[in-house]
A and B are shown apart, each in its own frame.
Chain A
Amino acid sequence: QVQLQESGPGLVEPSGTLSLTCAVSGGSVTSSRWWSWVRQPPGKGLEWIGEIHHTGNTNYNPSLKSRVTMSVDKSNNQISLKLNSLTAADTAVYYCVALVPSQSASYYRFDPWGQGTLVTVSS
């Protein structure tokens, strides 16, 4: 069973850049899965940020696309997220999540999820 572990700074300054890493264990980042990031502001719902395949293909939420960069590190079996031009509205728990394809590979489900890491944007 794949396990995901997020890591990164818990506090970032406004206008700065958030950088998070997700370590993948129990499976390879070069599998058929896509790898995604989902965030959840305190007390609010889930928001899909985007996803990346080991081939380098990406798919970002249009509302965040101009500020997001995702990458895959095959040698270390991990993925990363960068989000720039931060404001207080970016304060959230950030989850690393595997996207598992259906048998037809036409549909994907988020499973499993990492435990999440809280990032606070504040000076």
Chain B
Amino acid sequence: SYELTQPPSVSVSPGQTARITCSGDALPKKYAYWYQQKSGQAPVLVIYEDSKRPSGIPERFSGSSSGTMATLTISGAQVEDEADYYCYSTDSSGTHRIFGGGTKLTVL
């Protein structure tokens, strides 16, 4: 079955740039989406269609995709950005939806 692979954890100091990757064989043809989930809360969309930012999401959040890898970049990460981040996409048929395993971002 199709999988999206994320690193389990990423750690940066406040003000540094955090990059979280998501790899999958269908990503050259399918968009990646990114969700932020803070402890005890529901996920929130932060990037859609590889690089678009929903209204209300800070400009420090950006996304890109190249080949089989999508990347979420947080430029000048802040303590309040500590959360689990999940990528989402579909398989090559577009029928089945898959989440990556999640990446825990630590900012300290």
A interface residue numbers (CB < 8 A to B): 36, 38, 45-48, 51, 59, 61-63, 95, 102, 106-107, 109-116
Contacts and interface: CB of A to CB of B under 8 A. Distances in A.
Contacts, number: 52
B42 A114 contact: yes
Interface of B: 1, 30-31, 33, 35, 42-45, 48-49, 54, 86, 88, 94-102
A20 to B, nearest CB: 15
Nearest to A51: B97
A115 B102 contact: no
Q: Is the interface of B mostly helix, strand, loop or mixed?
A: loop
A22 B49 CA distance: 26
Contacts of A62: 1, 96
A113 B97 CA distance: 16
A98 to B, nearest CB: 11
